[in-house]
Copies of this chain bind each other. A is one copy, B any other.
Amino acid sequence: MPDILDDAERLCAQNGVRLTPLRRRVLELVAGSKAPVKAYDLLSRIDQSNANAKPPTVYRALDFLMEAGLVHRVEALNAFIACPQAGHGHAAMLYVCEDCANVTEVQGARPGQDNKPDGFAVKRSVIEHYGKCIDCR
């Protein structure tokens, strides 16, 4: 995972935000997991290096990392993944294997585009767009 962490350092420096040791450690744990990681799993793993970690510790770090575009939340799993193309602006599309828990992230929430990974068989999709309706603009 050196790439992801190095990219993260660069990206945070560019954007004038601070990738503190704690945040870096959480990113390291998320990036080091093949499957999406749960917040409380992070909490128990971070404990090895930081005995004081409590739920807010990890949720705050995750909030920062998501804000920075380094981590995504997998809504239907209450779990988190490291973004492989940190800093991309647009929405990500995730293909989650229910057997091996592997996640493939592709770009292109744009209509008319569907970069489905080779051979992936979709069983169920979660598609939710959030914003403002015409009446509330």
Contacts and interface: CB of A to CB of B under 8 A. Distances in A.
Given A127-B91, A127-B127, A98 B134 contact: no
Contacts of A93: 127-129
Contact of A123 (B99, B123, B125, B132): B132
Contacts of A76: 75, 128, 130
Given A127-B92, A127-B94, A133 B104 contact: yes
A133 B119 contact: yes
B134 A120 contact: yes
A100 B133 CA distance: 8
Contacts of A111: 112-114, 116
A135 B123 CA distance: 15
Report the interface size class on chain A: 35 or more
Contact of A124 (B91, B95, B114): B91
A92 B128 CA distance: 9
Interface of A: 74-76, 91-100, 102, 104, 109, 111-114, 116-137
Closest 8 CB pairs of A and B: A119-B134, A111-B114, A97-B133, A99-B136, A91-B125, A123-B131, A75-B75, A126-B128
